Each structure stands twice: as structure tokens, then as C-alpha cells.
Structure 1
Amino acid sequence: MKVIQRAKWRYQRVRHARRQIRCSFKVFRHTRATRRALAAMVLRMVDQSLRYPLNAQRARRDEFKVVIDGWPDAVQVIVGVHGLSVMVVQQADFWDFLLWPDCMPWRKHGQWRCFDPGCLASGPYRRLEDLLFEHLAVPFLAFLADVPEQAQLVLCSIEGIQHACVEELQAVNRLERPAQRVICWHLPPGANLL
């Protein structure tokens, strides 16, 4: 009897140790439903963009590339289930991220939540499309709405550190120094929001 109890105790101890290491959530896997939810979210984001017209194209099975009309080709917007990145790539050289919201979708009991510990509004959401829209599209649309009317995209390299930002025309004059290389593109004002 003691041998059986010892074996049971060892088994429970090993099982308890494995439970501490094991993640409490399932690894996210793409399915047809998640790809449909991502496509629906991207279409909803394109429809709700008031300031700049957006064009979405499928880049991969689980990613979309969004083009902002009037913005330079150096700005690349990639949307996936785990994040939306607005990055600047000039002549195949990565410069900087203008915006990078991320999301860690997780489904439990038929509801979707964001598993990111830093997320303030983690859910629950009934549909994955709603979760992705709140965590990825809303910050992106707010970023586009906050672009000043007379703005330009500025690329500067200071001592080998590459930086990209969107600033007003007057603010760029203070950045111009002989020690740095600056590339500027004027951004269109976009639609009038008032």
C-alpha cells in the first residue's frame, strides 16, 4: 500500500511541476474563421478611414498590406492577427516604426480576449473581428486622424541611428543640421474632418 501511495505522490508532484511550466493558454492557430475575421476587420478599417483613403491587398494567407493614398511608397502598413505595423523602408533599408500596436488573441468559453498583460481593455469580445478592430484598427485610424494638416514624413540619420517621424513643416527646420541626412516627403492634408 505504501508503494502505491509513494508512486501516486511522485506522479502528482511531477504533474504539478509540469502544470507550472505549461502555458495557461493555447497557442493561436490560423483557421479559415480567423482569416475571415481578419479580412472583415481590414474591410471595416478601410470603410471607416475618414481622413485618408486606404487600399488593402492580401500579402500572404494571414496578412494584408494596406496602402495609404498620397503617402510615399516608403511607408508600409502590414496587418496581421497579431499586430499592425506602420514602418518606413527606404531603398530596402529599414528606418523606423511610426506605429506598432499588437494583439494576442485568445479564445476561452466562446469569447475572445487579448492575452497581452499590458492591455487595458482585454475583453471579452464575442467575435475575433471586434477584438482585432479595437486593438489594431482603432489606434491606426486615430494615428491617421492626428496627422497635422501641413505635415511631412521626415527621415533623419544621426550618428548611424535612423529615425522616422511625421511632423509639421515648421518643426522640421529645427532638425536640419549638417551632421545628419534628412529626407522629407510632404503628406497630403487628407479629407476635412470638420
Structure 2
Amino acid sequence: MRAKQQADELAAGFMSPESQEAQRYDRRTMAMFLRFFGRHRKPVTLSQRDWERFIRARRAGKVGPSGRPVSDRTVEYDLKFLMAILNWAARSRGEEGRLLLEFNPLRGLKLPKEKNPTRVVLTQEEYEVLLRVSPLVDWRFRVALVIAHETGHVSGDGLVVPVVRHLAEQILNPLVESEELEEAAA
């Protein structure tokens, strides 16, 4: 369905930014798999051992564009992409009428799952201190802080908490030893 929709959008000369980002992800991820498994590797030869080796390497940051370790959620997303490609190939026929792939060799293998992610929550006292010093930082910091607190947003819920965390780390850290911060927090 997604491929047909993208083809229709391209034919119409329209591609939404979300579709463009999805295509960039698809290209990066496909290149990552081709580097990892080998460009000439036949899909039918993929095995559970390859699956587990990829999971270990991706978690450790040995594979992927950033070179940094990633969460199980990211690994799961990447592997779902690979499974979608293999499933498509197992259902699609080439020009000669034969299936591109007789079966998905990775079907049924377990995807890594994120176990109860750790969520950073401010105590009421920490919130009040940050609220008092927020005028020293930036009006956007105060807005993001209040929105995150009042709506109960936590780290995985969109942009609000990452913005608060980023501003707190990047802007407040240099102020930690400042007299202004101590006065505002008092």
C-alpha cells in the first residue's frame, strides 16, 4: 500500500515531507543492510545466526549511520523494514512469472523489544527550581517546561521533554556555578 501511494504521489509530482523522510530512512537502512550482509548475499541464505549477529552489532553501534549504540526500538524498526522487503519478495513475481523469493528465511524470528523504558521524571522540587530559573534561560525553555509538566509528557512523547532536557543540559549546565542561578533557586 505504501509503495503504491508513493508511486502515485511521485506520478502526480507531489511528495510530502513525511514521505521524503521515509524514503531517506528506507535508502539509509537498505544501504546499512547491504553493507552488513554483503551486497551479493542471496536473501535465501539469511539465517537466525545472521539475525542475531545484526542485532548485537546494531545495539553496539558497529552498524548504522551514527556509529553509536542504539535502543532495541531502533533495532526492531530496522528489522521490521527488512522483514517487509523479504515478505514483499516472497509474494511478488518477476518478469518470468516466478516468485522473487520462494520464502522469507527470517519469518518467525523474534524481534528485540524495548523493556519498560526508563522515564526521567522531575520531582516537584526540581520542577519549581527550574521554573524559577527559567527567565534566566529563554522564554521557550519556560514554555516547554510548563507544557511538559502540565500535560504529563514523558521522554518518548514527542518533542516537549527532549526540548526541555536539551535546554536544561545545554544552557543550565554552564549556569550551575553562577550566583544568578543560586539566587533564583533560593
Query: Could you tell me the TM-score, scaled by structure 2's length?
Result: 0.22
Higher helix share: 2
Higher relative contact order (CA 8 A, sep 6+): 1
Normalised by the length of structure 1, the TM-score is 0.22
